Structure 1
Amino acid sequence: MTLPGVLLLLVFAYLPMFGIVIAFKNFRVSDGIWGSEWVGFANFRYLFSSSDAWRITFNTLFLNALFIAFGTVAAVALALLMNEIRNRWLNRVLQSFLFFPYLLSWVLVGYIVFALLRMENGLVNNALAALGLPPVNWYMESKYWPAILLLVSVWKSAGYNSIIYLAAMLGINPEYYEAARIDGASKFQQISRIKLPLLAPVLTMMTLLQIGRIFYADFGLFYNVTRDSGMLYETTDVIDTYVFRMLRTVGDIGMASSAGFYQAVVGFLLVLLSNLIVRRMDKDNALF
């Protein structure tokens, strides 16, 4: 039963590792991977010599950290609320309703956001006009977009992640709650003393996995929702969109590969560091 998964992992995760060598070559399609000129760390120097390098690194880390923090809080809160609903039919309807945004493509989500934020006849600007406030050209003002991207990301992913936490809550022995109620524990005390502590291993694992990909921005979110507006690059341009734009305009495959290698190495080190911190705090909650 595990064979298809193992094959998928080998083909899409391990075999492509041989392509890392492209990051150290001046890759030309006509020469192939092994025939292309070896340039060492020249691609990395080119990547970091750009004035945009540190800006896109900061944006990637800052925005993904926001997504992890607020997304986790929202998902756990939704799971706690759904766990308190005793009506099975209503619970299923709410789960389906919350899960639905996760199934939407980022292209469609981008058009939904555009319909809300467009300068003329956008729903948000119409609401501002009704309140007597001036309209905002959202796609020309970069300062608003960290909050906008955070809201869109949480809206799309919190429902899906909440189901994972809800499944973990359903696995908690109900005798714990019965004993707590006998001792006079309030609902808040049951959540803070039983549910959250027993949910800690799942929370830790999910957070560590997300930290491992903190250098990998969701390309669909940052490219489609912002409509690749150049006026927003100050706060929305991340490593993935920058590499795509450079690959599309310059066609430098070696530089794009070096950026991917940089992301993978830093992500791996962050997982090791995060896991080390967790082990120091509580060895049982660590991944390894």
Structure 2
Amino acid sequence: MSSPIGDIAEQSRTVSSAQAGRWKAAWKYIKRDKYLYLLLVPVLAYYLIFKYAPMFGEIIAFKNYRFADGIWGSQWAGLKHFQRLFTSPDFFNVLKNTLLLNVYSIVFAFPVPILLAILLNEVRVEWYKRMIQNLLYIPHFISWVVLGGIVIALLSPSTGIVNTVLKLLGLEPVYFMASNFWWPIMFIVSGIWQSAGWGTILYLAAMAGIDPQLYEAAKIDGASKLRRIWHVTIPGIRSTIAILLILRVGQMMDVGFEQVFILQNKAVYEVSNVISTYVYHVGLEGAQYSYTTALGLFQSVIGLILVVGVNKLIKAMGENGLW
């Protein structure tokens, strides 16, 4: 009769031998495909140098950082900068603006690429489809410096084409870019113009993987085009929508810098000053590096919590998450 201790030891030896076998098999594949794995070296180096190594600088959020003293030479400040952050009225204003613009973007901008992809997927005239795709993709490759100039020129109260049309209709010109009401709307609209076309690529690629026999079967069953879209196309891209939604929610604390900085002005600071521009003005122009690093660390932690939370929610709904 075997003893419990002997059984445990035997199980441990079995697990160890199995792990050793897996490592041996993995090393065999690595040796066989060593030149392919070498292609990963530049990618790993990029992430190590530009993504992980800079995380060391987060330590200055807990110090009174002075450039002359360096990171290690600066005095420790504990949670002083976080206390200042959470008692600053400016912080809560930029946090509110950041969250509101992101909520507007998810509600109004996120569905647009899905709708465009569905419409393009139903187009059967190839030359027309390619032309529309190219026109939609072009803004993605243009800098926000140029796009922002175009938006400001189009909406100019004196020479902009939009206000020129309003004047012809007998209406008063609208100062779109200097209005606290209109600026967020123009921000979202310009963001859709710049990014929606590029986003359709992912959804069109997902639609290309849907079995055409599903459409044929639905058509034989008498389903209309709208029914086929609802019951075949949308379920076919649901996993792609879920993953992109997780990534988009993970950016809830980050509106981006270029678009806001180009479009904003002093008249609309109350609604346009977001975390990225606040960090620029206070951190770089005001040289308050420790304070803005604390803000950046808070921003990253909240972003991580959002990604993990939404990923769990999506998986609970039966979809595949990021992990």
Q: TM-score range by the shorter chain?
A: over 0.9
Q: Find the aligned partners of 2:284 and 2:146 in 1 and give their Cα distance.
A: 23
Q: Which 10-residue stretch deviates more, 127-136 or 203-212? A: 127-136
Runs of 4+ in structure 1 off by over 3 angstroms are none
Q: Aligned ranges for residues 25-36 of structure 1 at < 5 Å?
A: 25-36=63-74
- Provide the aligned C-alpha RMSD in A: 1.4
Amino acid at match of 1:235: V
Amino acid at match of 1:159: G
What does residue 269 of structure 1 align with? 305
Q: Find the aligned partners of 2:214 and 2:41 in 1 and give their Cα distance.
A: 39
Given the alignment of the two structures, is residue 124 of structure 1 paired with residue 162 of structure 2, yes or no?
Answer: yes
Q: Find the aligned partners of 2:162 and 2:183 in 1 and give their Cα distance.
A: 14
State which of 149, 161, 184 in structure 1 corresponds to 2:222: 184
Post-superposition Cα deviations, 1:150-201, rounded to whole Å, max 9, x if no partner, equal 1001111000001110110011111111111111111111111111112111
Contact 2:152 2:177 in 1 (8 A): no
State which of 217, 237, 246 in structure 1 corresponds to 2:255: 217
Q: Which 10-residue stretch deviates more, 8-17 or 44-53? A: 44-53
Q: Which runs of 5+ in 2 are unaligned?
A: 1-38
Contact 2:133 2:197 in 1 (8 A): yes
Amino acid at match of 2:241: L
Structure of larger gyration radius: 2
Given the alignment of the two structures, is residue 57 of structure 1 paired with residue 95 of structure 2, yes or no?
Answer: yes
Query: CA offset at residue 36 of structure 1?
Result: 0.8
State which of 265, 285, 288 in structure 2 corresponds to 1:252: 288
Q: Aligned ranges for residues 126-275 of structure 1 at < 5 Å?
A: 126-226=164-264, 229-275=265-311
Contact 1:95 1:163 in 2 (8 A): no
What does residue 92 of structure 1 align with? 130
Query: CA offset at residue 30 of structure 1?
Result: 1.0
Higher relative contact order (CA 8 A, sep 6+): 1
Q: Find the aligned partners of 2:156 and 2:242 in 1 and give their Cα distance.
A: 39
SS in 2 for 1:142: coil
Amino acid at match of 1:183: D
Q: Which runs of 5+ in 1 are unaligned?
A: none
Contact 2:206 2:240 in 1 (8 A): yes
What TM-score do you get using the length of structure 1 for normalisation? 0.95
Percent identity (aligned): 39
Q: Find the aligned partners of 1:12 and 1:201 in 2 and give their Cα distance.
A: 30
Q: Find the aligned partners of 2:289 and 2:194 in 1 and give their Cα distance.
A: 32
Q: Find the aligned partners of 2:109 and 2:156 in 1 and give their Cα distance.
A: 26
Q: Which 10-residue stretch deviates more, 88-97 or 101-110? A: 88-97
